[in-house]
Structure 1
Amino acid sequence: MCGIIGIVSLNESKKLAEMTVSALKRLEYRGYDSVGVASLSASGLEVRKAKGKVEEVVYQKKVEDMKGYVFLGHTRWATHGPPTDYNAHPHIDCSGNIAVVHNGTIKNYKELREELESLGHKFKSETDTEVIPHLIEEFMKRGMEPFQAFKSAIKSIDGSYAVLAIINGERRIFFAKRDNPLVIGLGEGQNYIASDIPAFLPYTRRVVIIKDGEIGFITPETVYIEDQEGNVVNVKERVRVIDWDIETATKEGYPHFMIKEIHESPKAVKDTIEGFISEIDLIKEVADEIKNANRIIVIGAGTSYHAGLYFSLQLQRLGYTSIPIIASEYYNLKAKKGDIALAISQSGETIDVLQGIRKMKNEGAKIISLTNVIESAIARESDYKLYMKAGPEIGVAATKTFTTQLASLLFLTEVLQGGNINKLEKLHQEIRDTITKVEGITKRIGEKLSKKANIYYLGRGLSLPLAMEGALKIKEIAYVHAEAYPAGESKHGPISLVEKGFPVVIINDGELTDLLQNNLMEMKARGAEIYTVSVNKKMKDSDIEIYLESEFPAIVISPVIQLIAYYASVSKGYDPDKPRNLAKTVTVE
């Protein structure tokens, strides 16, 4: 996920640079590892870009000194190629007359790059985006006018995209959209186009939402759009006037980033699965390393530990010797040659995980990492780097990143078993359907649990890590004391606290339902209030049960436990995005 902004004006002005920078600051939540700006003026095309956050790059490259009548801006969340100066957007063609910014993923960029290189094109980055300006250049060399060349370039790419392109001599910004947000802002003597409305909200509230498959261009005074069949769109019928404030617009109408990010889980999982399929040779190589390892040590902290525990239990069931390790306790295990350590971290910077893999690497283990940030510290120190494509996560409590970790590990499990990875392409739809189905009932459960002082979350087998995550979530953001136990262990002490009205949440993935039913009845006999989340097999005598069906229970349970915690938090009047005493990334021991 990246942030893009384009401004086209009747007048050449330094003020446009200041507006572009201001817009990039409002888009920085979409990506913050590198920044770039391109301008078109009477002098031609100029690009200034570098690795770093908006404020750093703007100061370093003196971006606000740029002049022009057309500006493009980009703040990046790396997906192809690490965060570097040369991988930062905008990207240009060989002639230096075309600049492009892009949010999304181009699946066939390797084939396109090889073809373009064979035609003499020179590439300067490792990104998938760079093929686009070279494609436009190539089609223009063949005699096409700029818009036709742009359309031909877009037709050549396979993937998801929000693309903006500018061409020297043209007072137009060309655009195309598929699966990534893009919206036009209508001004006076200048128009805007961006990933999100907040980018241009201080300048206009008149917007035109671009739909999937549409392509076109904006000038200072006009908007031209074609639909995916080539029909011209009546833009006047699309114009809307919005009354959001900046913060609401950044959250796209959601009250909090956390709920927005739960709803982004389907896309995060879809992008990740597609990414893994495109890197299947690497995934198979990682699977072979696991198959040949003496032991597989799975290390993570917090939510990432729970995802790792889920994977470790799956490995144990497949006959592997797998050891799950809470990252801060890494010193208790001595690795040796022949071991594999799988490090899981959303940020890729978690200090306990980093210290753990350094120790294990020194002891002879190979390191595999699963992170959401390209070329993070953990990824850099790994022998094999696997990347999720969840995009930035603003809420402190992990939501879409946990669901995406589970999806990534399910994919790896399927490859280990020689299973059918194509069936994983439906995961995102199952998550979307689940959220639609359960939002109302999770709100009801969350409101009830918010009034409690203590909660048990119980699970068995593969549902135990999910119970642990459910307890963690409601502790983190609703400040309700919650403990997770293996349900069979509840008789060995915890049940002594159960009395009338004591809430017990049972996570049932459908595998050990009969045993969980016995535990439910033990709790019920002592007056407990029972809430169950069941997949494929229903339970009896619950006070409230959420029932779902899925071939991959974990992937649909994940958003349910997150929604319960979210609604518990907001019903108590708390801000779930900023839980007290917690930070998004723990970088100190």
Structure 2
Amino acid sequence: MCGIIVRAGVGDALGELLTGLRNLEYRGYDSAGVALRRNDGEIVVCKREGETDALEADLDSDRLSGSVGIGHTRWSTHGAPSDANAHPHTDGSNRVAVVHNGIIRNYETLRRELRDRGHEFTSETDTEVIPHLVADALDAGIDPETAFRSAIDRIEGSYAIAMVVDGREEVYATRRGSPLVLGVGETANYLASDVPAFLEFTDRVVYLEDDDVVVVDAEGYQISDVAGDPIERTVETVDWDAGDARKGVYNHFMRKEIDEQPVSLRQTINGRIEGGKSVLSEFPQGSLADVDEVIFVACGTSYHAGMYGCTLLRRRGIPATAVPANEFAHEPMPVTDRTLVIAVTQSGETADTLASLRAANSSPARTLAVTNVVGSTAAREANDALFIRAGPEIGVAATKTFSSQVAAIALLADRLEDDGAGQSAGWSTAEETDRSADQIDRSVSTTATKNREGANGRTGGGDRAENDGQTAYDNGDVSELRALPDHVETVVGDGNAARLATQYADADSYFFIGRGVGYPVALEGALKFKEITYEHAEGFAAGELKHGPLALVTPATVVVAIFTGRNDERTLHNIREAQSRGAPVIGIGPESATDVREKVDEYLSYPDVGPNLAGILANVHLQLLAYHAAEIRDRAIDKPRNLAKSVTVE
């Protein structure tokens, strides 16, 4: 949830610590603080409620001069945002300063014990017990590293911790269940919750693992296990550009990252398509042949990407289910050794998703992480990993990573189908019951279908193809993925979302509806809208509108309907029900779907593409709609209230 930055090196540390804090504000912005070891050995702390700018305004740079320091930007868990609850926390004599992410579950017991021994506490946080435990050990004549280890041995929960001690040039740190990465520089070494914190200073990183203890100074670092035995960890080079972690000419990271989607999608698919088929080096041909079913586990936007993936797999005849990770972790589904559990997580550090992954790892199932971060916990703990290669995403509201997650899953779906996954499960491909619906839809989107000719004479996805007497969908996803970045660029350049955000700014509620892949996109559109505008927004399967939500529809309710070229006539029926109650309808669909365009109040179009990938393009319009709606309301778009980018505590 929160952000840690550590710097130990040559020269003054304060400027680099502040840069790191600004780069980490997407992880927490309730308060910020730094602790520096001055050249005379004294530990000096400055911390303030509010964002990093508030801290910087109060800094006394002369007093805070030193080459070793720790910093923290907080997202509150224990204790409200305040100066007192801000990190770093110290013992009573300022000999020890600590920053901490995570939750110490036994802190109340430890606090009572320490109080009984005369310790006084000045905050409501669980973190404050750590420096007091260390101080107790120092008072007993124990050296700082051993004192740090003894304190860690006493605490229970999830954490990433970094500590400085009066008179020592080293920083002591460890992690368990919360991310911490080491940056190896030429004149300084770093520790942080995430790589963008120090990306401007070094691109050489070491991904620490649970229970690693690291001691960092200007000369280097030493990593050991809980018993004190040395450990070797690989130094990797991150291929992210430091400019990716800066806004540049943009007012907000969110808008920058929406615009970056053509680039991020090209990175996702680069080298992964040959001859119209998916080629994944992670999964050679035949390596997925023993998969009978797929279960996606994820949270938030990643969960919606997993739902989208379910539809792609089901259309290929592969049984698939999406389960919120916070449910699967504690109520696991029955699995077999032919079940593939896919954990979708942008950071690879989402606590609920990791808990689900670990539950799956303890079962007969095979596990796979779909993630953006090489070296992340999810990537290390899953049996396999598929990287989306979207580059760093700073805005709290995920944008480009959703598109890249879906594109990566589309590639994986093609690989699974080619390997014959799901065949032994006896599940029928291409739902027979949809035949009549498809025939109806052809009357709505015949023109769009004709314009969607795929590679090798195949249609662009969703049309029927007879194969040995069994009805199946000819998906065409992989061929169409090549054109997807250019199509997204077209949508990004469409300025109509800004106009509609202003036109409907006074609405009371915003409903998002869709079918097939349009359903998870509706949920994702509503999530984006509510999290950055703070307005009431809900997403529904289009057919569910009349099963309750229609009672809430009034002329002050804007209904946003996603059309994908499949089952569009049914969705048109649903919007007519909303229009009859006076609600204005914004349709989002293919350029050539003229019948749809004529039946809605406003229309946002995207280039013609098959129904399997149409949701990605529709989603870009929804991102822009949410962005502009938040902008005209003057919201904190990159840092919406009460939210943080990476949820690393359950």
Identify the residue that residue 344 of structure 1 maps to in structure 2.
Answer: 344
Q: Structure 1 residue 255 and structure 2 residue 251: aligned? A: yes
Give the drift of 1:334: 2.6
**Are 1:534 and 2:589 matched, yes or no?**
yes
SS at match of 1:255: coil
The structure 2 residue matched to 1:269, chosen from 254, 265, 272, is: 265
Change (3 A) 1:422 1:494: closer
After TM superposition, list the pairs within 5 Å mapping 1:125-140 onto structure 2: none
Residue 455 of structure 1 and its aligned partner are, at CA, apart by 1.6
1:42-441 to structure 2, matched below 5 A, reads 52=192, 74-76=201-203, 196=243, 250-274=246-270, 276=272, 280-285=279-284, 288=286, 290-330=288-328, 331-418=331-418, 421=478, 423-436=480-493, 438=494, 440-441=495-496
User: Conserved in 2, the CA contact under 8 Å of 1:49 and 1:57?
Assistant: no
TM-score normalized by structure 1? 0.61
- Partner secondary structure for residue 461 of structure 1: coil
What's the secondary structure of 1:271's corresponding residue? helix
> Structure 1: how far apart are the matches of 2:380 and 2:477?
31
Tell me if structure 2 keeps the 8 A contact 1:27–1:196: no
Equivalent pair of 1:371/1:379 in contact (CA under 8 Å): yes
Higher relative contact order (CA 8 A, sep 6+): 2
1:543 to 601, 606, 611: 601
**Native 8 Å contact 1:306 1:465 kept in 2:** yes
2:183 aligned partner: 35
Query: Out of 541, 548, 571, which is 1:493 matched to?
Result: 548
Cα displacement string for residues 142-178 of structure 1 (whole angstroms, at most 9, x for unaligned residues): xxxxxxxxxxxxxxxxxxx8xxxxxxxxxxxxxxxxx
1:254 deviation in Å? Answer: 0.9
Q: 2:626 aligns with which of 561, 565, 570?
A: 565
> Which runs of 5 or more structure 2 residues have no equivalent in the other structure?
1-9, 27-179, 213-232, 419-475
Once the two structures are TM-superposed, the CA of residue 307 in structure 1 deviates from its matched residue by 0.5
State the number of aligned residues: 398
Distance 1:422 1:524, change over 3 A: closer
Is the 8 Å Cα contact of residues 24 and 74 (structure 1) preserved in structure 2? no
SS at match of 2:337: coil
Contact 2:563 2:589 in 1 (8 A): yes
Q: Is the 8 A contact 2:291 2:340 kept in 1?
A: yes
CA distance in 2, matches of 1:486, 1:55: 38
Deviation at residue 282 of structure 1 after TM alignment: 3.2
The SS at the match of 1:292 is coil
* Residue equivalent to 1:445: 500
Q: Judging changes above 3 Å, is the alpha-carbon distance between structure 1 residues 400 and 532 closer, same or farther for their aligned structure 2 residues? A: same
CA distance in structure 2 between the aligned counterparts of 1:497 and 1:55, rounded to whole angstroms: 45
Q: Per-residue CA shift, 1:549-580, capped at 9, x if unaligned?
A: 23231221221111111111111111111111
Counterparts of 2:194 and 2:309 in 1: how far apart (Å)?
A: 37
Task: For 1:255, give the aligned amino acid.
Answer: N
Residues 426 and 126 of structure 1, relative CA distance in 2, 3 Å threshold:
farther
Q: CA deviation at 1:513?
A: 1.4
For residues 193 and 314 of structure 2, the distance between their equivalents in structure 1, rounded to whole angstroms, comes to 42
| Inter-CA distance 75–269: structure 2 relative to 1 (3 Å threshold) | farther
CA deviation string 1:410-465 (max 9, x = no partner):
222233445684652332222112101x2x21112223444222121111112111
Deviation at 1:82, TM superposition (A): 5.7
SS at structure 2 position matched to 1:491? coil
Change (3 A) 1:445 1:336: same
C-alpha separation in 1, matches of 2:332 and 2:503: 40
**What is residue 67 of structure 1 aligned with on the other side?**
none
Classify the secondary structure of the residue corresponding to 1:455: strand
1:44-87 deviation line (CA, Å, top 9, x unaligned): xxx765665799999xxxxxxxxxxxxx9743387xx96799xx
Aligned partner letter, 2:490: D
User: Conserved in 2, the CA contact under 8 Å of 1:454 and 1:482?
Assistant: yes
508 and 260 in structure 1: CA distance in 2 versus 1, 3 angstrom threshold: same
- 2:306 partner amino acid: G
Tell me the CA shift for residue 295 of structure 1: 1.9
Cα distance change on mapping 1:379 and 1:22 into 2, 3 Å: closer
Aligned match of 2:637 = 576
Measure, in 2, the Cα distance between the counterparts of 1:197 and 1:446.
28
Query: Structure 1 residues 413 and 537, CA, compared in 2 at 3 Å: closer, same or farther?
Result: farther
- Structure 1 pair 291–564 and aligned structure 2 pair: CA distance change class (3 A): farther
Q: 1:27 to 1:588 in 2, by over 3 A?
A: closer
Amino acid in structure 2 at the alignment position of 1:271: Q
Tell me how far 1:19 sits from its aligned partner. 11
Matched, 1:508 2:504: no
Cα deviations across residues 510-530 of structure 1 (Å, max 9, x unaligned)? 112111111121211111111
Q: Per the alignment, in what secondary structure is the counterpart of residue 555 of structure 1?
A: helix
Return closer, same or farther for 1:281/1:580 CA change in 2, 3 Å cut-off. closer
CA contact (8 A) 1:290 1:340 kept: no
Q: Which residue of 2 aligns with 1:473?
A: 528
For residue 555 of structure 1, what is the aligned residue in structure 2?
A: 616
Report the CA distance between 1:541 and its aligned residue.
Answer: 2.5
- Judged with a 3 Å threshold, the aligned counterparts in structure 2 of structure 1 residues 566 and 77 are, in CA distance, closer, same or farther, namely farther
How many angstroms apart in 2 are the aligned matches of 1:274 and 1:54?
Answer: 25
Tell me what 1:242 maps to.
Answer: none
Identity of aligned residues (%): 31
Q: Please report how far the alpha carbon of residue 385 of structure 1 lies from its aligned counterpart in structure 2 after TM superposition.
A: 0.7
Q: Check the 8 A contact 1:396/1:577 in 2, yes or no.
A: yes
State the SS of the aligned residue for 1:473.
helix
Shift of the 481–55 alpha-carbon distance from structure 1 to 2, 3 Å rule, reads: closer
